[in-house]
Amino acid sequence: MSIYATLWSIQIRDPAAAFSEPRWVEVTAQAVPPHIGSPTPGCGYEGGDPYAAFLPPPVETDDDGCAEFHRAVVFITNETHKGTERSPQEYAAPLLVLSGAEYGQLTFDELHQRLQDAIRSGPRVVAEFFGPTGQWVITEDDSDRISGRRGP
């Protein structure tokens, strides 16, 4: 049984890809409910938290195992594999791991920016031009990429 519950999935454009040839990455948000690893008596973890090595700290819950926020929200891609030597529940290379409280306080714009930074494959593209000699891509680090491709 998994400790994760899927919240949502979206497509995010890699900001290092040219606008004319976007690279889209599917990102999924996986929540870890508050009762997982909780020190609250009755949640089943009186012997300790088996997920402490790879998740934010556990949260106190009410008698029903509920709390204001999830314990954690883990962001993954289709290429992210679950299961490591340390734990079959650990994601090997998550994009981002937040506590439930951190996730609850972020605006969508802030979260989107952090996820774009996590999937970015190079310098951010800021402009793209098509001219008679080909395509010209300008990036935030002032490096230019020119291809012989003509037109969009």
| Residues 24-67 pLDDT 10s | 999 999 999 999 999 999 999 999 999 999 999 999 999 999 99
Q: Characterise 10 by phi-psi region: left (phi > 0), alpha (psi -120 to 50), beta (else).
A: beta
Predicted confidence band of residue 151 (pLDDT cuts 50, 70, 90)? very low
Comparing 142 with 132, which gets the higher pLDDT? Answer: 132
Q: What does the pLDDT read at residue 89? A: 95
Distance, in Å, from the CA atom of 129 to the CA atom of 22, rounded to the nearest integer, reads 15
More confident residue, 135 or 34: 34
Question: Does 11 have pLDDT greater than 60?
Answer: yes
Predicted pLDDT of residue 149: 45
- Residue 82 to residue 119: CA distance in whole angstroms: 18
Burial class (CB in 10 A: 0-12, 13-18, 19+), 68: exposed
Res 142 pLDDT > 50? yes
Lowest mean pLDDT among 14-23, 93-102, 121-130: 121-130
How far is CA 73 from each of CA 34, 82, 95, 143, rounded to the nearest angstrom? 11, 15, 11, 35
pTM score: 0.86
62-116: pLDDT as tens digits: 999 999 999 999 999 999 999 999 999 999 999 999 999 999 999 999 999 999 9
